[in-house]
């Protein structure tokens, strides 16, 4: 079931979403790469950081969302980065082997079923001495995910949400072993961020731009308001608000591999 992305809604918590990207990229020890590609670049605000770090490199951003790429091209990064609309798997199938020095993928691979099988193709795209760096969410056991899944499985919603896209990722050790088997040196770790969110129903605002968006878009117009109202209520019960805001723990899985 197809869904679309809203760049502006996604950017609501741009700083919080950007921190894992920065933490990931700082572990890439590439001195003077010639080609750098951001797979799943979204609105391009983070891809711009790659162009700043490696100003002499050819930097490209790839995303399957037309809306995201349009926003990226209209941003200041559009003057420095070559953005293009493409499915990650199609891009991998067409890219010249051993042609990329740095491949980065931030919170994207979890949307691709069976993405562990893509590791060999990602490594094959790297030039000798190249780097692959990605991070995926590891919060499948958190209320942001479990509440949505439970509510979506209830009538009358289940008939509409059964085919909605969902995320799935592995733990750090699984990625580490897979990439070691492909001959890479691997640094893999996990971090749980404690995001302090402000505003009305901030956890709903967060998830409605990412993990919950396909489920919400799968619902017909006459059912979506009731679903959203109940989803908001259950999230408020799970994530208490105080004078400082709402604390939302978010576990991330990081992998940096050198070929």
Q: What is the CATH number of the domain that holds 184?
A: 3.40.50.150
Q: Please report whether residue 1 resides in a domain.
A: no
| Domain with 233 in it | 7-258
What separation in angstroms does the CA of 143 have from each of 14, 126, 147, 210, 241?
21, 37, 5, 15, 15
Blockwise average pLDDT, block size 10, the chain, 259 residues: 60 80 96 97 94 97 96 94 97 97 97 97 98 97 97 97 94 98 98 95 94 95 98 98 96 98
| pLDDT confidence of residue 159 | 96
End-to-end CA distance of the chain: 36
In this structure, is residue 2 part of a structural domain? no
Q: Is residue 157 part of a domain?
A: yes
- Count how many domains the chain has: 1
191 assigned to some structural domain: yes
Contacts with 179 (C-beta within 8 Å, 6 or more apart), sequence order: 119, 123, 132, 186, 255, 257
DSSP H helices in 80-198: 88-94, 119-125, 143-152, 158-161, 172-181
- The confidence score (pLDDT) of residue 118 equals 98
Of 234, 256, 224, the C-alpha closest to 143 is 234
Buried-state track 48-75, b at ≥16 Cβ within 10 A, e below 16? bbbbebbeebebbbbbbbebbbbbbbeb
What does the alpha-carbon distance between residue 180 and residue 172 come to, in Å, rounded to a whole number? 12
Paired tokens of 89:
């798997």
pLDDT at 14: 75
Backbone angles phi, psi at 57, to 5 degrees: -90, 155
Whether residue 141 lies inside any domain: the answer is yes
Tokens of 198: 């402000």
Give the model's pLDDT for residue 6. 62
Give the closest residue to 18 by CA, choosing from 193, 144, 189. Answer: 193
Q: Is residue 127 part of a domain?
A: yes
Query: Is residue 241 a part of any domain in this protein?
Result: yes
Q: 247 phi and psi, to 5 degrees?
A: -90, 120
**Which residues is 133 bridged to in the sheet?**
104, 256
């Amino acid at each position: 079931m197809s869904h679309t992305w809203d760049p502006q809604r996604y950017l609501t918590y741009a700083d919080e979403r950007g921190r894992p990207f920065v933490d990931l990229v700082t572990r890439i020890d590439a001195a003077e790469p010639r080609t750098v590609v951001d797979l799943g670049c979204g609105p391009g605000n983070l891809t711009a950081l790659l162009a700043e770090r490696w100003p002499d490199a050819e930097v490209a951003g790839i995303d399957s969302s037309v809306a995201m790429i349009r926003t990226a091209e209209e941003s200041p990064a559009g003057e420095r980065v070559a953005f293009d609309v493409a499915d990650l798997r199609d891009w991998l199938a067409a890219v010249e082997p051993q042609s990329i020095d740095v491949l980065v993928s931030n919170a994207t691979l979890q949307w691709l079923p069976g993405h562990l099988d893509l590791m060999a193709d990602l490594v094959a795209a790297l030039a000798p001495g190249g780097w692959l760096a990605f991070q995926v969410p590891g919060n499948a056991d958190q209320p942001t995910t479990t509440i949505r899944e439970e509510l979506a499985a209830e009538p009358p919603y289940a008939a509409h949400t059964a085919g909605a896209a969902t995320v799935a990722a592995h733990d750090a050790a699984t990625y580490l072993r897979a990439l070691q088997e492909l001959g890479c040196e691997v640094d893999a770790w996990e971090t749980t961020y404690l995001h302090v969110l402000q505003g009305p129903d901030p956890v709903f605002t967060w998830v409605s731009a990412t993990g919950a968006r396909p489920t919400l878009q799968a619902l017909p117009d006459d059912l979506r308001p009731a679903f959203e109202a109940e989803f908001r209520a259950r999230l408020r019960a799970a994530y208490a608000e105080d004078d400082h805001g709402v604390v939302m723990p978010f576990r991330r899985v990081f992998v940096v591999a050198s070929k």
